[in-house]
Structure formats: structure tokens, C-alpha cells
Amino acid sequence: MIQIAIDGPSGAGKSTVAKAVAKQLGIIYVDTGALYRTIGYYVRQKGVDPKDAAGVEALLPEIQVELKYENGTQIVSLNGEDLGDRIRTPEISMYASAVSAIPAVRTFLLETQQDIARRNSVIMDGRDIGTVILPNADVKIFLTASDECRATRRRDELVAKGMNVTYEEVLADMQKRDRDDSTRAVAPAVAAEDAILLDNSWMTPEESTEAVIRLVKEKTGK
């Protein structure tokens, strides 16, 4: 069993790299942001302000979030329904970031994340994997890149999905979200003390993946 934690700000390429590493190593990729996005989606659907901690907390008993894997692909379901790309819009990104600052939401999702890592070898990406979820992970990487590189990548990704966004909008949203995620009181998005910092601004996705695989081999001898 192996546990690899990948944390870092949005648009650093965590999911692209983690997916490729999972495939090469034959382990499961867990996208934890999808869990917060699912809660954000429900909160929006109910018309609740995502910053209203008491209002959001009151909705949690109505929510069942499940993680499943089909042919190595993660499916997150909300009360039995797979939401697909509906959780990937810029608006839901903001909802996810807001609800993720609420301690009850983090507690609500903790067991789902730790349980999957207990039963499987995983590479898990998020903001607090190395600090809170898997503090004893075999390898911890904090993946980052310049704001400009990250915003360009995120814009290209959203445009490829048919969304009508500009570079400036994406950059502003991303910087706000990163500021909120890294300065919140609970489980802020910071590198664990024993995390290896990897700046992939000038790396291709393949180079980032190779760099992570190399670090995993160095750390684990596998």
C-alpha cells in the first residue's frame, strides 16, 4: 500500500499529473476537490449562501456523497446522482471554496477520504492532504506554478469544455480563491513541513508527471 499526497493551488495541474501517475503506478487517483464541489453544488441548488456556516451545516444531513471507481475513473455521486461536469463551472468553484472553509463540511468529508486511502493505494490531490487527511503519507508534494501559467491552463481547460471565459476573469477568480483557501482558519492550503515543493511553470504535463514519479521512487524505493 502506498499513499501519495499532492496539494497545491488551483490550476497547478494536480489532477492531470495525479491521474497520469495513478495510471503508471496502477493505483487509485482521488480528486478531493470534487467532494467540496459536490457540497457547493447542493448548497447552490438549495439557494443557501455558501458563507452561511449554520445554513450550510443544516443541509449536511440531507447530503450523501459517494466515491466510486469505474475503469479507474472516479465518479462522485450526490444522493445517488452523478453530476459529471456540472460541478466544474467557475461558479461552483467559488461555492466549493466558500463551503470548504466551514469546519463542519471538512469533518463531514474527512472519513470518506481517509477510508478510501485505508483500503487502497492512492494518489490523492487537494489542499490539506499532506497536512490533515494523510499526515503519514509516504510521499507529499506541493505542486505549484506561477499565477500566469495557472490561469492560462485553467482558461484553456474551461474553453475546451465550451465555457465562455476570458483570461482576466479566470486569473481574478483564481487569485481570490487561492487567497481564501490559503488564509482560512481550518486546514488552510499550505505545504506540509515535510512536503517537497515542485514548481511546474515551465514543465509540460509529461515532465511534471515524470518529476513526480521520480520523487516517488526516491522516497519509497519502488
Give contact residues for ligand DC (rule: CB under 6 A): 10, 32-33, 36-37, 93, 96-97, 100, 126-129, 177, 181
Q: What's the min distance (Å) between Cβ of 202 and ligand DC? A: 22
What does residue 173 show for φ and ψ, rounded to 5 degrees?
-60, -45
| Closer of 89 and 218 to ligand DC (Cβ) | 89
Separation CA 178–CA 50 (nearest Å): 17
Which CB atom, from 60 or from 129, has the smaller least distance to ligand DC?
A: 129
- Least distance CB 93 / ligand DC (angstroms): 6
Q: How many CA atoms lie within 13 A of 184 on its CB side?
A: 20
By the 8 A CB rule, do 51 and 137 touch?
A: no
* Residue 196 CB-density burial (10 A; 0-12 exposed, 13-18 middle, 19+ buried): middle
Q: Report the nearest approach of ligand DC to the CB of residue 209 (Å).
A: 18
Question: What backbone phi and psi angles, to 5 degrees, belong to 127?
Answer: -125, -25
Q: What is the DSSP letter of 137?
A: -
Nearer to ligand DC among residue 172 and residue 218 (C-beta): 172
Question: Which residue number, 19 or 177, has a Cβ lying nearer to ligand DC?
Answer: 177
Shortest distance in whole angstroms from residue 125 CB to ligand DC: 7
What are the residues whose beta carbons fall under 8 Å from the beta carbon of 158, sequence distance 6 or more? 90, 165, 170
For the CB of residue 80, give the shortest distance to ligand DC in the complex, in Å: 21
Long-range CB contacts for residues 158-165, cutoff 8 Å, separation at least 24: 158/90, 161/85, 161/88, 163/89, 163/90, 165/90
Measured from the CB atom, the residue of 14 and 221 that comes closer to ligand DC is: 14
